[in-house]
């Protein structure tokens, strides 16, 4: 606001409006540009008001529903309504204090109804409520409230530390759950793989033994047909001796073997042949 001046001419800046009085009484608004006044008739420029948008930062300390003290920083953007500039000039001595008082009143009426989490989630609703209330009140005084922004919500430092600790604990708990689930899946997959490997190993051993049995049977039949007077038992003993010596040869040629003590002699070879033959006969009897 400008001070009264008794001049013949006055220049009003762009985005401003002048208040013209005559004999101490409001007469009209002076628009931007060059304006002429008649001091002899009691006419003069009483003041100049800016119609630009202005910003007012308001800090409010209040308490939430869950008894947490917070500091709310809000930014109020307002401007003078050009057509009602005379109301703004004469009605309010200090519009910033008036706006701040209404913001304090509305915020302290709304925030205690919310918990801290709700306040963070619904801060735009609080700003909307403040805006609606200020528009109704300040509009009567020639002011338009353009925007209200809840810039920041600052809880007490001890509350912030506690919230961070709770958040960290929840994240650690969630990480432990995920880790446990991953380990469980690994164990299940490992068990399934071992079971499948054992099954396939068993199938391989069974096929191997079946192939050995079929080969022995074929050898015995071929030998019996080609060598007259040879019995199946004699052929079986000969094959067993051959297998025995092949086994000893394999043990000797292996680079990773350890010391192995095995009985050796014709009698032991016969015993081994008898044991294998009896095993085959029992297996055949069991399958039939």
Q: Is 187 exposed, middle or buried (0-12, 13-18, 19+ CB in 10 A)?
A: exposed
Can you tell me the mean pLDDT for 86-104?
Answer: 88
pLDDT tier at 227, thresholds 50, 70, 90 = low
Can you tell me the mean pLDDT for 171-199?
Answer: 85
φ, ψ of residue 266 in degrees (nearest 5): -60, -40
Q: What percent of the chain has pLDDT over 90?
A: 8
Q: Are 60 and 104 in contact (CB under 8 A)?
A: yes
243 or 116, greater pLDDT: 116
Can you tell me the mean pLDDT for 72-100?
Answer: 89
CA distance 206 to 225: 29
What's the confidence (pLDDT) of residue 3? 46
pLDDT tier at 234, thresholds 50, 70, 90 = low
Can you tell me the mean pLDDT for 233-251?
Answer: 67
What's the confidence (pLDDT) of residue 287? 54
251 or 25, greater pLDDT: 25
Flag whether pLDDT at 226 surpasses 70: no
In angstroms, the first-to-last Cα distance of the chain is 117
Our measurement of the distance from residue 20's CA atom to the centroid of its chain's CA atoms, rounded to an integer in Å, reads: 62
What's the confidence (pLDDT) of residue 17? 92
Report pLDDT digits (tens) over 48-65. 999 999 999 999 988 888
Give me the chain's average pLDDT, please. 79
What's the confidence (pLDDT) of residue 57? 92
Instruction: Provide the strand spans (E) within the chain.
Output: 9-12, 16-22, 25-30, 33-36, 43-50, 54-63, 69-80, 143-155
Flag whether pLDDT at 33 surpasses 70: yes
Can you tell me the mean pLDDT for 102-130?
Answer: 89
pLDDT tier at 91, thresholds 50, 70, 90 = confident
Whether the predicted model's global pTM rises above the 0.85 cut: no
Return the minimum-mean-pLDDT range out of 51-55, 75-79, 98-102, 203-207. Answer: 203-207
């Amino acid at each position: 606001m400008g001070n009264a001046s008794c001049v013949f001419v006055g220049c009003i800046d762009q985005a401003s409006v002048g208040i013209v009085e005559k004999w101490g009484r409001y007469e009209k608004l002076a628009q931007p540009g060059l304006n002429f006044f008649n001091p002899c008739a009691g006419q003069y420029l009483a003041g100049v008001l800016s119609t630009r948008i202005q910003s007012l930062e308001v800090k409010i300390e209040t308490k939430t529903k869950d008894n947490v003290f917070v500091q709310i920083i809000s930014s109020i953007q307002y401007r003078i309504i050009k057509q009602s500039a005379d109301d703004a000039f004469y009605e309010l001595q200090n519009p910033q204090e008036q706006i701040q008082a209404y913001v304090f009143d509305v915020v302290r009426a709304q925030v205690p109804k919310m918990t801290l989490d709700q306040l963070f989630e619904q801060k735009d609703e609080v700003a909307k409520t403040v805006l609606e209330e200020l528009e109704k009140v300040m509009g009567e005084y020639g002011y338009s409230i353009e925007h209200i922004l809840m810039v920041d919500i600052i809880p007490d430092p001890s509350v912030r530390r506690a919230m961070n600790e709770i958040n960290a604990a929840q994240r650690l708990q969630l990480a432990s759950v995920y880790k446990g689930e991953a380990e469980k899946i690994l164990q299940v997959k490992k068990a399934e793989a071992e079971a499948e490997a054992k099954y396939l190993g068993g199938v391989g051993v069974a096929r191997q033994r079946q192939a050995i049995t079929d080969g022995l049977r074929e050898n015995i039949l071929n030998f019996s047909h080609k060598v007259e007077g040879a019995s199946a038992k004699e052929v079986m003993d000969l094959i067993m001796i051959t297998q025995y010596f092949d086994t000893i040869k394999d043990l000797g040629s292996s680079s990773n073997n350890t010391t192995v003590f095995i009985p050796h002699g014709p009698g032991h070879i016969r015993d081994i042949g008898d044991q294998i033959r009896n095993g085959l006969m029992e297996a055949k009897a069991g399958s039939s």
